[in-house]
Structure 1
């Protein structure tokens, strides 16, 4: 009985030990499996991007510069003689025509001077008539040797002196006639008068620098602007060939077109301090939208490239490789593709080397891409993918690329 009681505790301890060993083995197997199992293979996730097709079309070569509206004529009307201003015949800001009455200077002193000159002329004409009569008599006597030869010669000189006096009197009268014309001040050019500079009752002089009024020709008008020396050769080549280069004037913020004109003059010297040359364009300005001395943004269309390779400007990136795009491959991956760019109108950019029409490039989502990355177009609107670009981050860029049509000219507000 005692032996049976002693073996029971030993059998219980044996079972517990076996269970502990089994548990340890199971835990060891679990830990081994967790440590040595292979992680599941991850497939790269495709990046959602917007793509557009490379197109072929026309691209205007446009220079954008700051210009100043410069009137064809700005005239300060100065008095030609001295006197009291008795009348002003214009309203401030009025449009006047050439020869229109502007102001009147008191003419009375010049009328009196003219009358004196006329009286002197009558006196000198009488003296001349008497001298000519005496000369005729002396001529007859000299032929008969009845008077001294010296008397005859002196009389001829007297006649010449009287003739000169008459001519001097006539010149004086002509001068006073001109002074009377100058008393009535008229507009030398057609244009718009400014604010009145002198009021009636003031004494004006010929040396007055302020003048009576300033007249500015409003139409036609011109705009002066400068171009850098690097762009001058193209302008000179086109201008020298007789081409009429289109010039457009925009508001200061560049959003609204004011007027269209043409380039008509290029300065003969370059400013050494800025490396620029001044150009001048003419505008009809029939609506007088261009105001003198106003600052405007000028867009000069130098040339138009035809059959150019065009991509949306948003697709062009700049980095370590230089200028590049993310080119869409046939296996729905992208590759970094280096390009050479040309002119741009802000919406599209010319690619002179590196791309051909029909290829596809990424226009939106490039910040998440790298060479060889997997992509998925944002929306499927045809093989060109241009419609996707139009609805993505590059609005307006893809439709031109998809259709292959020419983009809007930068000179007309592109």
Structure 2
């Protein structure tokens, strides 16, 4: 009878044992293996701090080539867009009338010179005759007056000749310096009315050197004062700028800061800054918009991480860290500027001893246990 009860109990417990074994087997099957995750330590190194500003380029010198006389445009003596040396003839405006005026003025000068010569000789003879009392005092005074009048007439004739020659020179528009000329605003044959109001024919750009203009905030000026108070207070900025463009160029352009406005504009709270940029190949053009990177200070112990490792959510920027227990930790951070196109400065929320996840951010989550592998 006892033996029968024992076998009945075993048969009763057998389904429960089988169910427990099945649950353990299912748990073992659903347990995931620990993933290998690439991690790295931040780089701690000194960097130069920069801030980016929008700016624009302007030629070192720009001048409008204007007509100052009336007449038909007879000649355009250059190819638009080309560089011309200083003194190059660019436009010819009908010079006939002005050449005739010069000829008339030259004749008037010769006539006045002859009259002065006659008056002076006559005055000399009058003085000799007056010593012998052969003429009256009034005749001598009249002779001297004639000399003075002849001198004044000659002076006026020479002034008219100078004016005529100046007007004639305006018929030949030349380049005041070496530069690149825009297209003409008028075609040959057009009548130019430039005597009443100067008429622009074209524009000459001297672009061997360019100026980059941009505005900085007043608080940025104060930061530069703290970084280098002596140079900034003297109106000299201590650093150089780099220029970047919407489409990268083969050559990097660096500008030397040479001007800081003496006042802050009340309406904008900014100061105008200018940098000189060499442009030997003429690649840069006046009016081109640029992005200017202005160095303003240093961080001797900047904490740097790979920019691609930083995530963004509603709270801002974050990193996934891996603690000493190999568990993933979410960490909110504050970031600074991008360095060398790949590294991002972390200004708060991270130390040089923290390990951060460098890849596969979507595969990790808070509290997850991982197998960290140093990303080289």
Q: For this structure pair, what is the TM-score category when the shorter chain's length is used for normalisation?
A: 0.7 to 0.9
C-alpha deviation, 1:163, in angstroms: 0.7
Determine which of 161, 186, 192 is the counterpart of 2:149.
161
Alignment map for 1:168-247 (pairs within 5 Å) = 168-206=156-194, 207=196, 210-235=199-224, 238=228, 240=232, 245-247=239-241
Which structure has the bigger radius of gyration? 1
Cα distance between partner residues in 1 of 2:158 and 2:54? 57
The answer on whether the counterparts of 2:70 and 2:191 sit within 8 Å (CA) in structure 1 is yes
Alignment map for 1:64-75 (pairs within 5 Å) = 64-75=52-63
Greater strand share, structure number: 2
Determine which of 337, 346, 371 is the counterpart of 1:376.
371
1:17 maps to what in 2? none
Alignment map for 1:306-385 (pairs within 5 Å) = 306-314=300-308, 325-335=319-329, 341-345=335-339, 347-352=342-347, 355-364=350-359, 368-370=364-366, 374-377=369-372, 380=373, 385=374
The answer on whether the counterparts of 1:70 and 1:293 sit within 8 Å (CA) in structure 2 is yes
The answer on whether the counterparts of 1:77 and 1:211 sit within 8 Å (CA) in structure 2 is yes
Alignment map for 1:263-278 (pairs within 5 Å) = 263-278=257-272
Cα-to-partner distance string for 1:312-350 (whole Å, 9 max, x where unaligned):
345556789987655433222355667665444363333
C-alpha deviation, 1:233, in angstroms: 2.8
- Residues 349/64 of structure 1: CA separation in 2 closer, same or farther (3 Å cut): same
Alignment map for 1:85-100 (pairs within 5 Å) = 85-100=73-88
2:5 maps to what in 1? none
Cα-to-partner distance string for 1:66-103 (whole Å, 9 max, x where unaligned):
22221122222111222222222112222211100112
Cα distance between partner residues in 1 of 2:337 and 2:244? 20
Cα distance between partner residues in 2 of 1:92 and 1:224? 27
The answer on whether the counterparts of 2:67 and 2:198 sit within 8 Å (CA) in structure 1 is no
C-alpha deviation, 1:30, in angstroms: 8.6
Cα-to-partner distance string for 1:103-123 (whole Å, 9 max, x where unaligned):
212222222222222222232
Cα distance between partner residues in 1 of 2:119 and 2:80? 58
- Residues 218/154 of structure 1: CA separation in 2 closer, same or farther (3 Å cut): same
C-alpha deviation, 1:147, in angstroms: 3.9
Q: SS where residue 261 of structure 2 aligns?
A: strand
The answer on whether the counterparts of 1:105 and 1:184 sit within 8 Å (CA) in structure 2 is yes
C-alpha deviation, 1:166, in angstroms: 0.9
Cα-to-partner distance string for 1:38-63 (whole Å, 9 max, x where unaligned):
99999998675432102222323122
- Residues 347/274 of structure 1: CA separation in 2 closer, same or farther (3 Å cut): farther
Cα distance between partner residues in 1 of 2:53 and 2:318? 28
Cα distance between partner residues in 2 of 1:95 and 1:80? 24
Determine which of 292, 295, 298 is the counterpart of 1:298.
292
Cα distance between partner residues in 2 of 1:307 and 1:122? 84
- Residues 142/74 of structure 1: CA separation in 2 closer, same or farther (3 Å cut): same
- Residues 205/322 of structure 1: CA separation in 2 closer, same or farther (3 Å cut): closer
Q: SS where residue 308 of structure 1 aligns?
A: strand
Determine which of 270, 280, 284 is the counterpart of 1:286.
280
The answer on whether the counterparts of 2:72 and 2:189 sit within 8 Å (CA) in structure 1 is yes
The answer on whether the counterparts of 1:65 and 1:226 sit within 8 Å (CA) in structure 2 is yes
Q: Which moved more, 1:39-48 or 1:255-264?
A: 39-48
1:412 maps to what in 2? none
The answer on whether the counterparts of 1:47 and 1:369 sit within 8 Å (CA) in structure 2 is no
Gaps of 5+ in 2: 1-7
Cα-to-partner distance string for 1:240-283 (whole Å, 9 max, x where unaligned):
37565332222315697653333222334444444333322222
The answer on whether the counterparts of 2:182 and 2:202 sit within 8 Å (CA) in structure 1 is yes
Gaps of 5+ in 1: 1-21, 388-414
Is 2:123 aligned against 1:129?
Answer: no
Q: SS where residue 208 of structure 2 aligns?
A: coil
The answer on whether the counterparts of 1:250 and 1:257 sit within 8 Å (CA) in structure 2 is no
Alignment map for 1:74-153 (pairs within 5 Å) = 74-153=62-141
